[in-house]
C-alpha cells in the first residue's frame, strides 16, 4: 500500500463559532497549494498529539474552493472526544499540524442542480462548503435543512444569514431547533421534505439523525444514487505512524489473479488483480490516482461501483445493505472472487 504524503500546515487563525465549536484556518505555502486543491464537501485528516499519544482524525472542510482563500475546518467538542477537545483547547495561531491531502467523495458532480442539503449539528461543515460552491460558482438552487439542539448551537448563523440575503431567489433555509420542535423523526422529516423538489440530497450529522433522514427519503422513493451520506468512524490505525511491511513471497507459491476493468473520468483501464491484494493497492501500484483516505473501510472516500463480477470486502463500517445491493464497494477493502471484475468511479 502506498504511504500517504504528510504535510505540515500552519494555523493562520482560530475562530470561535459557538460555545463548543471552533474553526481552524490554515495557511498554505505556495508549493502546497496544488497538493491541497479540493472539491466542495471533502475533508482533511489531521495528526493530533494527545497526552503523549498520536491520534488521526478526519474533519470536513467548511471552506469552499475558488471562493475562500484559505482552508478551514470546523470542530465541535464531543463528550470524551480526544481529538475534538484537543483542537478546541490547543489550536493556536502560528502552531503547525501534520495533515494529509484532501479526500472524500461527499461532493456534487455538478453545481447547477436543485439540492436538498441536510445537516445536523456540526454536520453543517461539509454542507457549508457545498452550499457556498453552488451559490458562488454554479447556478443551482438549494434548500438547507439544518437541525440543532438549541438556538445557541447554530454554527455559521451570521454567514448563513448573509448568504440568504445575497441569494434569496436560490437559497431557502429551514431551521429545526430541538428545544422548540422536539427530536426529528422519520415521519416528521418526511413531512418536511415531501413538498420540496430537488435533484440530489446531501446529508451529514449524528448517526441517528442521518438514519431518520435516510428513512424519510426512502419513504418518498428518492433514488439511492442521488442520496449522499457522509459518515465518519474512528480509524483503527494511524496513517501518520503506519509502517508498511511486505512479506517475502514463497517462491513456490502461485497467487491466482483476476482481471479488473476500471472506468474513471471517461477512460477505461485494465489491470491484473492478484487475489491477495486489495483493489486500492492494485490501482495505486499501476499509477492510477484513485480516491482514498483511511484505507480501513470506515470513511467511504474510496467508494466505487461494482458493475460486473463479485468481490469480498475485508472490512466495511460505512456502506449499508442498500448501498451494497446497489453495487457500491470500498476499493481499500475489496478482494476479487471472480476471474473478471468491472468497477466504475462516478465522476
**DSSP structural state of residue 76:** E
Grid look-up 448573509 returns 162
**C-alpha to C-alpha distance for 109 and 107, rounded to whole angstroms:** 7
Q: How many CB atoms lie within 10 A of CB 252?
A: 5
Report yes or no: 9 and 32 within 8 Å, Cβ to Cβ: yes
Half-sphere exposure of 206 (CA within 13 A, CB side): 12
Task: Give 23's strand partners.
Answer: 15, 74
Grid look-up 470500498 returns 330
Grid look-up 484513485 returns 290
Report yes or no: 117 and 202 within 8 Å, Cβ to Cβ: yes
pLDDT value for 139: 98
- Domain coordinates of the chain in residue numbers? 6-100, 114-230, 257-344
Which residues does the chain have with pLDDT short of 50?
A: 1, 243-254
* Distant-in-sequence, close-in-space partners of 153: CB < 8 Å, separation ≥ 6: 18, 20, 121
**C-alpha to C-alpha distance for 33 and 51, rounded to whole angstroms:** 31
3-state DSSP call for residue 275? coil
Cell digits for 119?
A: 445537516
DSSP string of 205-242, one letter each residue: S-HHHHHHHHHHHHHTT--GGGEEEE-----SS-TTT-
Q: How many CB atoms lie within 10 A of CB 184?
A: 21
In 3D space, the residue among 304, 294, 291 whose CA is nearest the CA of residue 330 turns out to be: 304
pLDDT value for 3: 63
Instruction: Find the largest Cα–Cα distance for the chain.
Output: 70
In 3D space, the residue among 5, 130, 12 whose CA is nearest the CA of residue 69 turns out to be: 12
Which CATH code is given to the segment(s) 6-100? Answer: 2.40.30.10
pLDDT value for 235: 64
3-state DSSP call for residue 327? coil
pLDDT value for 251: 46
Which pTM was predicted?
A: 0.80
pLDDT value for 2: 54
- The DSSP element (H or E) to which 203 belongs, if any, is strand 200-204
3-state DSSP call for residue 160? helix
Which CATH code is given to the segment(s) 114-230? Answer: 3.40.50.80
pLDDT value for 242: 54
pLDDT value for 212: 96
How far CA 207 is from CA of 169, 193, 194, 221, 232, in Å, comes to: 32, 19, 22, 21, 9
pLDDT value for 333: 94
Domain 257-344 has CATH 3.10.20.30: yes
Report yes or no: 283 and 271 within 8 Å, Cβ to Cβ: yes
* Neighbour-count burial of 253, counting CB atoms closer than 10 A to its CB (0-12 exposed, 13-18 middle, 19+ buried): exposed
Domains 6-100 and 257-344 share a fold: no
Cell digits for 303?
A: 467508494
**C-alpha to C-alpha distance for 134 and 30, rounded to whole angstroms:** 26
3-state DSSP call for residue 32? helix
Cell digits for 16?
A: 470561535
Pairing of strands 53-60, 43-50: antiparallel
Amino acid at each position: 500500500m502506498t504511504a500517504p504524503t504528510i504535510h505540515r500546515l500552519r494555523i493562520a487563525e482560530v475562530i470561535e463559532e459557538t460555545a463548543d465549536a471552533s474553526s481552524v484556518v490554515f495557511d498554505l505555502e505556495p508549493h502546497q497549494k496544488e497538493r491541497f486543491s479540493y472539491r466542495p464537501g471533502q475533508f482533511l485528516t489531521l495528526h493530533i498529539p494527545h497526552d503523549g499519544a498520536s491520534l488521526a482524525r478526519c474533519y470536513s472542510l467548511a471552506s469552499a474552493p475558488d471562493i475562500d482563500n484559505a482552508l478551514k475546518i470546523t470542530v465541535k467538542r464531543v463528550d470524551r472526544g480526544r481529538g475534538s477537545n484537543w483542537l478546541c483547547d490547543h489550536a493556536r495561531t502560528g502552531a503547525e499540524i501534520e495533515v494529509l491531502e484532501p479526500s472524500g467523495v461527499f461532493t456534487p458532480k455538478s453545481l447547477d442542480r436543485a439540492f436538498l442539503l441536510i445537516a445536523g449539528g456540526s454536520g453543517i461543515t461539509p454542507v457549508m462548503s457545498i452550499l457556498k460552491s453552488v451559490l458562488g460558482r454554479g447556478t443551482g438552487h438549494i434548500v438547507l435543512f439544518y437541525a440543532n439542539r438549541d438556538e445557541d448551537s447554530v454554527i455559521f448563523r451570521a454567514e448563513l444569514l448573509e448568504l440568504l440575503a445575497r441569494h434569496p431567489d436560490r437559497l431557502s433555509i429551514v431551521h429545526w431547533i430541538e428545544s422548540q420542535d422536539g427530536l426529528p423523526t422519520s415521519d416528521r422529516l418526511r413531512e418536511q421534505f415531501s413538498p420540496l423538489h430537488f435533484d440530489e440530497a446531501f446529508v451529514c450529522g449524528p448517526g441517528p439523525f442521518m438514519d431518520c433522514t435516510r428513512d424519510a427519503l426512502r419513504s418518498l422513493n428518492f433514488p439511492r444514487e442521488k442520496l449522499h451520506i457522509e459518515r465518519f468512524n474512528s480509524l483503527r490505525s494511524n496513517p501518520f505512524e503506519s509502517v508498511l511491511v511486505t512479506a517475502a513471497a514463497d517462491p513456490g507459491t502461485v497467487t491466482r489473479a483476476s482481471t479488473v476493468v476500471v472506468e474513471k473520468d471517461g477512460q477505461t483501464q485494465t489491470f491484473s488483480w492478484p487475489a491477495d491484494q486489495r483493489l486500492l493497492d492494485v490501482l495505486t501500484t499501476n499509477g492510477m490516482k484513485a480516491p482514498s483516505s483511511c484505507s480501513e473501510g470506515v470513511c467511504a472516500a474510496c467508494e466505487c461501483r461494482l458493475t460486473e463480477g463479485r468481490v469480498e470486502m475485508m472490512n466495511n463500517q460505512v456502506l449499508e445493505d442498500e448501498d451494497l445491493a446497489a453495487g457500491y464497494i470500498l476499493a481499500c477493502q475489496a478482494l476479487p472472487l471472480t476471474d473478471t471484475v468491472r468497477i466504475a468511479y462516478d465522476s
